[in-house]
Structure 1
Amino acid sequence: MRPVAENPPRIEQHEREAAGIAWQPNGHVFTTARGGSIDPTNLTRALTTLFGRAGLRRIRFHDLRHSTATLLLEQGVEIVVIKELLGHAHIGVTATICAHVRLRLQHNAIDALGTALDGGETTETARSDSDEPPPCASPVH
């Protein structure tokens, strides 16, 4: 995990104050109430419990990183910024994770272009889960 920033988030600051002299800084983002390292089994158990309470299917903790990348990309954050936030050494790793989102964004972009070229009428391109590029919404001359 990545080290905590020099100015700790408010939650961590509250935990530090509550733990007092028992606080054990370890540089991790997620810690126990006293700042120690979280046992991976306990983290998985806690996450599974939270998902169950929320009525969500169980996923791995690491899958949350993929979800973060997807949500950021869908919000228009540049892939280079996402790469830096996730700590990937190479942008190819980030691009692979975001590939399915980029395809959906391409579909949306082609729909928007088709609408603009048709003078405002809505055109829907065919949707599929394949990696094939979507068909052109307007004839090319």
Structure 2
Amino acid sequence: MRNIHQIISSALKLAIEQRLIARNPADGCALPKAERKEMQTLPVEQLTSFLREAKDSGVYELYYLDLATGLRRGELLGLKWTDVDLDRGVLKIQRAISRQNGKVVEAPLKTKNAYRTLPLSADAIDVLMQQRRKTGNSEWVFPSPTGGPMSPDSVLHMLHRVLKRAGLPKVRFHDLRHTFATLALQNGVDVKTVSGVLGHFSAGFTLDTYAHVTTSAKREAAKTMGNLLSRAV
């Protein structure tokens, strides 16, 4: 409702600028309160247990790649082998998989920033090479048992099963993306780079989303500068 209101309000604002109407009737509307689900991440000390159990469950490649790239669930499931260049070590994000009217379908990405090309680490390339040998002739990087794209619901069920077997608390699939971003920022990757990798529409949105991480980093920067200057005096 808030998104629809924003679109309508923007259109009416343009109508005012073009002198088509005198006032914006969308102003002053009672809107539902914005609710943001609490972000959770897998701490570094839990990643080993999680990935070990994922390997034992036969889904290591899927979750490793998501933690290595921060892809949205639909983007991860939408990967085709034509999007992967193992020689150059890059991955193109071109589409998403979603469930619409009970069917698993291909869907375009929501914003132009979501269409992006990501570099792959050497370990991620090795993982994808392992996955290539497992998928046979399927065009999908992570195919379903029938050879088509996987259902978004099934990877969530698998995630919860892996977490339970590893003795870890339940998190949402999107929290794997938060884990990637949080670890990247905590380990010195700049916000603009993280924003580009995540496909956010602006670095400001990334800053707002991960303010708790960047605030901590600013404290460390202030502490570091204080130590440097105190030695110089």
State whether TM-score is above 0.5: yes
In structure 1, give the amino acid aligned to 2:211: A
Residue 129 (structure 2) pairs with residue 17 (structure 1): no
**Do the aligned partners of 1:66 and 1:97 also contact (CA within 8 Å) in 2?**
no
Alignment-derived partner of residue 114 in structure 1: 226
Alignment-derived partner of residue 214 in structure 2: 102
Alignment-derived partner of residue 138 in structure 1: none
Query: CA, structure 1 residues 6+100, in 2 after alignment: closer, same or farther (shift >3 Å)?
Result: same
Paired residues in the alignment total: 116
Alpha-carbon distance, 1:105 to partner:
0.8
Query: CA, structure 1 residues 93+37, in 2 after alignment: closer, same or farther (shift >3 Å)?
Result: farther
**Do the aligned partners of 1:32 and 1:38 also contact (CA within 8 Å) in 2?**
yes
Q: Secondary structure at the match of 1:118?
A: helix
Query: CA, structure 1 residues 91+117, in 2 after alignment: closer, same or farther (shift >3 Å)?
Result: closer
| C-alpha RMSD of the superposition | 2.7
Please, which runs of 5 or more residues in structure 1 have no aligned partner?
Answer: 121-141
In structure 1, give the amino acid aligned to 2:228: A
CA distance in 2, matches of 1:18, 1:67: 27
CA distance in 2, matches of 1:34, 1:16: 16
Query: CA, structure 1 residues 15+5, in 2 after alignment: closer, same or farther (shift >3 Å)?
Result: closer
Residue 209 (structure 2) pairs with residue 93 (structure 1): no
Task: Calculate the TM-score normalised by the size of structure 2.
Answer: 0.43
CA distance in 2, matches of 1:35, 1:94: 36
In structure 2, give the amino acid aligned to 1:25: E
Alignment-derived partner of residue 43 in structure 1: 155
Alpha-carbon distance, 1:52 to partner:
1.5
Task: Calculate the TM-score normalised by the size of structure 1.
Answer: 0.66
Query: CA, structure 1 residues 5+51, in 2 after alignment: closer, same or farther (shift >3 Å)?
Result: same
CA deviations 1:54-84 (Å, max 9, x no partner) are 2221111111111111111111111121112
CA deviations 1:78-131 (Å, max 9, x no partner) are 1121112112222222222221111001111222223334339xxxxxxxxxxx
CA distance in 1, matches of 2:147, 2:186: 34
- Relative contact order (C-alpha < 8 Å, sep 6+): which is higher? 2
In structure 1, give the amino acid aligned to 2:208: T
Alignment-derived partner of residue 5 in structure 1: 84
